Structure 1
Amino acid sequence: MDISDIAAYKNMINMPEPKIQVVIDKAYKDAVYDFYKTMFKRQMVIDYMKDGTLPEETKDPKQNRLLTELFANTQQKPPYVLITVNPRPGVEFKELEKVINKVIKKKAIKMYMYVYEVRDENKGLHCHIIAYYDCRPFDLKKGLQNTCKSICDISNPSILNLKYLQSDIVPAKVQYLLGEKQDRKQSGVKHTIEYRKQHNINPVYESDPPLPCRDTKQITDLTPPDLGESKSLTNQ
C-alpha cells in the first residue's frame, strides 16, 4: 500500500460499522459498474471490427463517414462468403425464393451457388449461398440486411448468417451444399430431397459463369475468372 491507501484504510477501520458498510457497498457497486462497462466496450469493439455492427446507429453523416472509413481500413476479408438465410416460421417457399432472387442479382455478387433446404419434414426452410463478391464486407452485409428484412430477423446473426471463406475451404463448402453432411444431418438431407420434389425445386442453382471450383478448372484453383454479366438462375 502507498501512503494514501494506508491513510484511507485507517480512516475506514476507525469508522462506525454502518458507515464502513456504506463505503464497501459503494466500492462494490462502482467495481461492478466498471466491470460491465469494460466487458460491454470490448464486445462492442469486437462486433464492429468483425462485421461492422454498431451498438447504436448514428444518423449524423459525418459520424457515419468516419465509422465507415474506420471499418473499411481494418477489414481484410476473403472474397468468398457463405450466406445462410433462415426465414421466420410461416414464410412460404415462393416468398423466400423471391428474396433470394434479389440477393443473387446484386451487383456486388459476381458468382454464386445456392440451395434450398429444410431441417425436418416441411420445417426449417432455409437457403445456403456461396458467393464471390467484390465490395466491402460492411456494404455486403448492409445490402443483405435490407433485402432480407421482410422475411427474417436481420439483427440476429444466427438467422442471417455470413461466414467468410478462404479459397481452400470453398470446395468443401460446395460439397456440403450438395448434401455431404454429417450423419446427424442426414435426416434433414432426406427431408430436403422430398421437399424439393413437392415444390419443384432444383437441387442446386448457379451463376453463369459458375464458381471456379465448379468449372472445368482444377478444384483447388479458385482464382476468379474474368467476370461477365451474371445470370439469375441456371437449372441443373
Structure 2
Amino acid sequence: MMQNNSWFVKFVIWFMIFLMSVGFAALVITPFLGGTSLFGGGGGNNATEQQLKDARSNVRTHKCSTEGRTFTDKQATTCRNALTEVAQAYRSLATPQADATDYPKGYKQNLARAQEAFRAAYMIDTSDSGMAQDYAQFLLQQGDAAEAVTVLTPLEKADPKNEDVLKSLANAQASANSYDAAITSYTAFIKRFPASGQISTIKDTITQLKDAKQQAAAQSASQSIDPSALTATS
C-alpha cells in the first residue's frame, strides 16, 4: 500500500512539473507568434481576423461583389454592411497596436483591400450620402483628397440642402489644396446654413485658405523668376 501511495505522489509531482514546463514554453514562444496565445486565448488580432472571416463569408453568401448586379433595398443594405465590415477589419489589421513601434506586416496590402471594400460598398448605391461620406473620409485618411472630391461633388449637387455633405466636400477640397473651390463651398455653407454652430470656425478656415492661396501664389512666382535676369547688365 505504501508503494502505491509513493508511486501516486511521484506521478502527481512529475505531472505538475510537466504542466509548469508547458506553461513556461508557452510564455517563451508567444512573442514569436506575434502575440498569439498558444491556447487560443484572444491574443493579437484574433478577434479582428474572425470578424474579417465572418464578413467575407457574408459577402460571398449574398454575392455582394458581383459586377453589374441589381440590388433590392434589403440586399443593398445587407451587402453594404458586410463590405463595410470587411473594410473596417482590413483597416484594423493595418493599424499599429498602442505599444507598437512600426506598422503591422502587410499593412499596405490591407489598406488597399480596405479601400477596395469601401469602394464596393459605395458603388452599390452612389447616392447614399452616409456611405459616400464614409468612403470619402477613408480616402482623405489615405491622402487621396482628389478622389474624395470626386465622390462628394455629385452628391452635393444632387442634395444641396445636406449640411454634412457640403461640409465634407469643402473639407476635401481644402485637403486637395483646391483653394478657390474650397472657399466657394465654405462660403456657400455660410449662406445656406446661417444657423449652424460651425459658422465662426468656417470663417476662420476661409481666412486661412485665402492666406494659403496667397502664399502658394507668391512661392510659385518666385520659382518662375529667372535668376539670371536679376544679374543681367544693360
TM-score by length of 1: 0.29
Bigger strand fraction: 1
Higher relative contact order (CA 8 A, sep 6+): 1
TM-score by length of 2: 0.29
- Over alpha carbons, which structure has the higher Rg? 2
Bigger helix fraction: 2
